[in-house]
Structure 1
Amino acid sequence: MENLRHSLRQLAQIEVDVLIEGETGTGKELAALQLHRWSRRRSKSFIAVDCAAIPDHLVDELLFGERGNGGRIFDAHRGTLFLDEIDSMSTAMQGKLLRVIEERELPATGTTSPRAVDLRIVAASKVNLVDRVANGTFREDLLYRLETVRIRIPPLRERRVDVPMLFTYFLKEAAERFEKPVPVISALIEARLLSDPWRGNVRALRNFAVQTVLSLENGPTEAEDVSLSDQVARFEAAVITDALQRLQGDVAAVADLLQVPRRSMYDRLQRHGIDAGQYRHS
């Protein structure tokens, strides 16, 4: 998460198009939105388009604009256009999008002249587009234009140290939404957070947070003198300890496994009072 945030902050200040890859539910749209919020375009529109949800016969009208309509691309003028599941776009529409990217201009229609567009395009895919190029379903020239910068968002199973922070955020979000108290993270919940492979990634974790909040009837069932930050710290320590046990105290390997910079991992060990040496086999 720290590496991803750092990359997004740097990219936000650079005017290039971006390709984000990651499994379903990893938070690709959230990453694109954060890019927008940190960029100079933050005061303009962030337009999200689910390419897989647009019927082929409506793509021209909804995306590029037909019959005098501006289309979603024009709606993103001076802002950011997020194209989710771009791999689902037909090759004909890919060609039309390529022209927009190269010329930064919407083509003329029967009722309009060509229109200049100033926008950043952030595309996302849950599949490897190189494979799609190989089987002929995705244009190689479009991929080259989109992948000026490529970001891969790892699934949660590859960055388990992010689970406590994300779960805490989603708990607060759900509690505020449903006007419920923020629950204490019980031992049962902690065990689930540690053991679940989170195949649905961030989306599944958010759903679990909502379920946890809505399961409360009379507020937290445990003592309320345990702060949420203390609960998160306890769980983060448990994630790190579990990884140290599995990797026999190899801090570098643990840092790689949990997708945390090594310096940050040593800081966390010190903060939690964890001695990696006790997990090394003699």
Structure 2
Amino acid sequence: MEQRGHVILVDDEPMVRQSTEQWLSFSGFAVDSFADAESALAHLDVQTEGVLITDVRMPGMDGLELLSAALSKVPGLPVILLTAHGDVDMAIKAMREGAYDFIEKPFVPERLVETVHRACEKRRLILENSKLQSVLAKQSGLDATIIGISPAIQRLRRDVLKLADLDTNVIVYGETGTGKELIAQSLHQYSRRKSQNFVPINCGAIPESLIESELFGHEAGAFTSASKRRIGKFEYADKGTLFLDEIESMPALLQIRLLRALQEGVIERLGSNQPLQIDLRVIAAAKVDLREDEHFREDLFYRLNVSQLHIPPLRERMEDVPLLFNHYLRIATKENTEEGSKPRVLSEHDLQALSRYQWPGNVRELKNIAIRFAVDGDSSISAILSAADPMNNSAIGRASASKLLPLSVQVASFESNVIREVLARHKGNIKLVMEELDLPRRTLNQKMIRYGLSRTDFTKG
């Protein structure tokens, strides 16, 4: 039988202690039993797994005293009290002092087993969360930047350190949201150029008419709106690193100028005949294989493709998800909640939802979900994921027809879709949305934060 958890049992009555131990052992729990509270207390430490079950009325240290001493020694340890003399006042006092549950003798064995099972699950989650926080706290250097324990991420960190010192051009491949700019920044930070500028530019976010000026700069009067000289990204990155994100979207004519700049180490501002010597490292990022892109120049590809790095999508390194989520949850809690607030503890259901989701938006999406989870103290991970992407291809989205999603998930999905539709209809006009939905501003704001909705997403068009 698979072990369901660990129990530390304390009861001064031998018959009761033995029978309870036998029943728990038969039910799949590992049991250490003690006849007095002092012996059990000495057995506890901060890494104690499972649950403490103790009788209340015992000679010497009684169960309530053991409860207080145990929680002082092992914060978060679930403690279940058993007594034949229980009353309402004692139960209230015990729960106020941190007892997990309070069960009167003679108890129904099945109820005790179910309570112990839930308590063991809670303790396991607390220890797992503590372990993750400990791992994060001990990280330094590149481990604290490129976070993960999977073989793929460990290999990526090694490759980054190896390539950083080579000072060669690099192409970084990865899906949207995998962290290509983070990898580029790491290559720069651990290179001999780290004291110089790291200059990022998204080739897909700048209009084609402006990108040449952005990269190479211009002289005053070079074109109608050029009222003064502008230093381009290439010149600003001299002696440092230029990061060209989404380079697959670079226009063909600009690819020719980029190739010349890389080959000769020379650029010219628009409107100038004066060549400028540059010394920089280029890191390019792409979502697709540039070698297979018929619109990307082959000679430019070979000039850039001195080295390559491939960032695996999050769905291929699911063992990193809990660590990454706790990292961003800790940051989100610090930045978005009251000072001194502790990060929410993930439930078993939350962890399962994280592990089943396919993360189409990769780490960027995970970070956003962590922020919503930190801000909204009531929603589960399942509800947040369902609201953010009701049709996702995860196990949540693929719930079989024979097993409906939890009501809270369905309600959250419906509510999110209604608010999204009304925002779109009124083009982000919050006043009109409030009137149509009959919601006060504060409530609407809370729901929009919960579902990741921003009015600016609906103001265009």
Normalised TM-score (structure 2): 0.45
- Of 161, 164, 185, the match for 1:33: 185
CA RMSD across the alignment: 1.4
Give 1:20's aligned residue: 172
Give 2:304's aligned residue: 146
- Of 165, 177, 183, the match for 2:335: 177
The Cα of 1:72 is off from its aligned counterpart by: 1.0
SS state of the match for residue 52, structure 1?
A: coil
SS state of the match for residue 82, structure 1?
A: strand
- Of 323, 327, 342, the match for 1:165: 323
Specify every segment of 5 or more residues in structure 2 that has no aligned partner in the other structure, as ranges.
1-152, 220-228, 379-461
Quick one: which amino acid aligns to residue 172 of structure 1? R
- Of 174, 187, 194, the match for 1:42: 194
The Cα of 1:168 is off from its aligned counterpart by: 1.8
Structure 1 or 2: larger helix share? 1
The Cα of 1:109 is off from its aligned counterpart by: 4.4
Give 1:268's aligned residue: none
User: Are the counterparts in 1 of residues 216 and 270 from structure 2 also a CA contact under 8 Å?
Assistant: no
Give 1:75's aligned residue: 236
CA distance in 2 between counterparts of 1:197 and 1:109 reads 46
Quick one: which amino acid aligns to residue 162 of structure 2? Q
- Of 156, 168, 176, the match for 2:314: 156
Cα–Cα, structure 1 residues 111 and 95, in superposed 2: closer, same or farther, change >3 Å?
closer
Counterparts of 1:154-233 in structure 2, within 5 Å, are 154-179=312-337, 180-216=341-377
Larger radius of gyration: 2
Quick one: which amino acid aligns to residue 142 of structure 1? L
User: Are the counterparts in 2 of residues 181 and 213 from structure 1 also a CA contact under 8 Å?
Assistant: no
Quick one: which amino acid aligns to residue 184 of structure 2? A
Quick one: which amino acid aligns to residue 69 of structure 1? R
Specify every segment of 5 or more residues in structure 1 that has no aligned partner in the other structure, as ranges.
218-282
CA distance in 2 between counterparts of 1:205 and 1:163 reads 8
Quick one: which amino acid aligns to residue 15 of structure 1? D
User: Are the counterparts in 1 of residues 217 and 269 from structure 2 also a CA contact under 8 Å?
Assistant: no
Offset from partner CA, 1:241-278 (integer Å, 9 cap, x none): xxxxxxxxxxxxxxxxxxxxxxxxxxxxxxxxxxxxxx
Give 1:254's aligned residue: none
Q: How many residues align?
A: 214
SS state of the match for residue 175, structure 1?
A: helix
CA distance in 1 between counterparts of 2:189 and 2:269 reads 31
The Cα of 1:176 is off from its aligned counterpart by: 2.2
The Cα of 1:211 is off from its aligned counterpart by: 1.1
Give the 4+ runs in structure 1 shifted more than 4 A.
none
User: Are the counterparts in 1 of residues 218 and 269 from structure 2 also a CA contact under 8 Å?
Assistant: no
CA distance in 2 between counterparts of 1:42 and 1:8 reads 14
SS state of the match for residue 53, structure 1?
A: coil
Offset from partner CA, 1:125-162 (integer Å, 9 cap, x none): 01121221xx3x11000000111101111111111122
The Cα of 1:111 is off from its aligned counterpart by: 3.7
CA distance in 2 between counterparts of 1:80 and 1:165 reads 30
Quick one: which amino acid aligns to residue 99 of structure 1? R
> Are 1:92 and 2:244 matched, yes or no?
no
Counterparts of 1:253-264 in structure 2, within 5 Å, are none
Give 2:210's aligned residue: 58
User: Are the counterparts in 2 of residues 74 and 117 from structure 1 also a CA contact under 8 Å?
Assistant: yes
Quick one: which amino acid aligns to residue 278 of structure 2? V
User: Are the counterparts in 1 of residues 322 and 351 from structure 2 also a CA contact under 8 Å?
Assistant: no
Which of 1 and 2 has higher RCO (CA within 8 Å, sep 6+)?
1
SS state of the match for residue 62, structure 1?
A: helix
The Cα of 1:108 is off from its aligned counterpart by: 5.5
The Cα of 1:107 is off from its aligned counterpart by: 2.6
SS state of the match for residue 358, structure 2?
A: coil
Offset from partner CA, 1:159-187 (integer Å, 9 cap, x none): 11221221122112212221453121221
CA distance in 2 between counterparts of 1:173 and 1:43 reads 27
CA distance in 1 between counterparts of 2:210 and 2:240 reads 23
CA distance in 1 between counterparts of 2:239 and 2:249 reads 26
Quick one: which amino acid aligns to residue 211 of structure 1? R
